[in-house]
Structure 1
């Protein structure tokens, strides 16, 4: 999660490396853009406040650069700032946007541009909502709405190395990230979470397509691939950070979670103690935790703990596996 200190570092010390660069002349851009799009994005203009209905649109989807189509923001990070311009708390990725000092109008501001094509987007300010505290104040003309069926789900089921390894293999799942949720402090570190004092659980954030796999089925798999009846413990891992959790984003997800737990309870002799709590924030874990099993399959923990879990998962949910992953699992068994 980016914070103001990160923006300052990018502005002063160099921007993140983009996935690609798109370079065109102004004449080429003029042929592709409307006059207003060109004025805003290529000539660093500013649209009139409250001039776009985008300010009041909050349905699911993504927002891309109107010039090059690079994805910049997720609607889940959009909020009502009361400024008259669409506002977001975070970009979709750290390297989606670049930052420049702007001393125009007699003040010091930080300009945001598309990191792919250098299109002027707007500015970023340190007065946004917690936990990141950022407000990306964007010109609506610089963005285009991209419809997306993707949804996010957040689960805790013990060590996130294990849960990430399982959910990465599912059809309909496009991304799984390890992180922390449910605690009392912002941007916790792994060491802080392991102390058990932050209140955070080790969790995964699953990005999935509900047209391919339902939220209910994700929950069924979640409850079948860890022990939901042990309080604050998974195997040898003990502590509140290893608690079994479902973080719901709306009342519908809460009801589904309650129904799935009731459905799964007869399969367990002991009572399911999985907590069902409202989702607040997901803090991505340190980079070395991401794709941990894929990058460390020969390590002792992976072979002793994760390999048997994946073998059982594969037997139970073979029809749910991505076709390209079958051989990837087999070679570690």
Structure 2
């Protein structure tokens, strides 16, 4: 789910989401673990001077956590250059990572954002962010600590996401696989809407992986060899634009890699590859019952008749790339 301004207002008026955990300390305890500036910003609702931190202009991969309780709050993929003088993000890493509060100080109406785990003051959220959310989380750099991470994310589709998700879960170097929708115009689409073929979205998976263990090129090669990339808008019995073969790239390096891999696979096929290569815009996570569908429904007819045969071939073809516990 992509949070929008209406969601922010609902949290303010109806209550914030429940955090995964709570961290409570006395003022003295916070003073013992924070610097004077960190304490002033996070526990006394201070504001750092604009353009005072180089964090505003850092966009390398990683995550950002609360400096007080170390709860992860934002992902670098949601960070953007707002030129406001403070680090800016379009979304929190999880819906329940952030809490929202009315702020009428200084004669203004604003929405304060705090860490939902420990109540640390972070900054404010505004309505002038980029689409599709339109949100700008304007955060004090002092409130955050940068966490280096090797993890990267890749998004592609090739038919029903129940199948693709089940396959990529098996790979060594893959941390997480989530089913969802991408490539269309509808914000926060439902499965029913996507299934109508009118949203422009394709069923896709978002693969979180570690490049030192499995490369982006390997992921794309496996993707193109585990579905039929030579037919338009169809995989098996599934028909429609939502089942199209597609690769979303996030930068020119990924775009070049996708073109290269398709050319290499094309040399092995008689039919022309029609896989679409498109610039990534947004991934919308599918409803919870779609997530990890195969492992939740191993006795289901679709799993036994469609996914099981694919998995058998997949494990044989890529046995050297599988996780040890598979």
TM-score range, shorter chain: over 0.9
What's the CA shift for 1:187?
2.2
2:244 — aligned with what?
243
1:84 corresponds in structure 2 to 85
Comparing 120-129 and 286-295, the one that deviates more: 286-295
Shift of the alpha carbon at 1:29?
Answer: 0.8
> Distance in 2 between the 1:44 and 1:59 partners?
28
Distance 1:275 1:141 in 2: 42
Q: C-alpha separation between the residues in 1 aligned to 2:133 and 2:303?
A: 33
Instruction: Find the aligned partners of 2:11 and 2:309 in 1 and give their Cα distance.
Output: 43
2:180 alignment partner in structure 1? 179
1:151-209 CA distance string (max 9 Å, x none):
11110110111111111221111111111111123222212211112211111111111
Q: Measure how far apart 1:268 and its partner are.
A: 2.5
2:58 matched residue in structure 1 = 57
Q: 2:65 aligns to what SS in structure 1?
A: strand
Equivalent residue number for residue 300 of structure 2: 299
Aligned to 2:253: 252
What CA distance in whole angstroms lies between the structure 2 residues aligned with 1:14 and 1:302? 40
Taking the TM superposition and a 5 Å limit, the aligned residue runs for 1:112-191 are: 112-191=113-192
Distance 1:170 1:6 in 2: 36
In the alignment, structure 1 residue 47 sits paired with structure 2 residue 41: no
Secondary structure class of the residue paired with 1:267: coil
Flag structure 2 segments of 5+ consecutive residues without an equivalent.
none
Q: Structure 2 length normalisation: TM-score?
A: 0.96
Secondary structure of the residue aligned to 2:94 is coil
- Structure-1 residue corresponding to 2:29: 28
- Per-residue deviation, 1:267: 2.9
| Match of residue 320 from structure 2 | 319
Output the aligned Cα RMSD: 1.3
Superposition map of 1:11-26 within 5 A: 11-26=12-27
The answer for unaligned runs of 5 or more in structure 1 is 327-333
Q: Equivalent residue for 2:266?
A: 265
Per-residue displacement from partner, 1:258-294 (whole Å, max 9, x unpaired)? 1111211233232211111111111222222222222
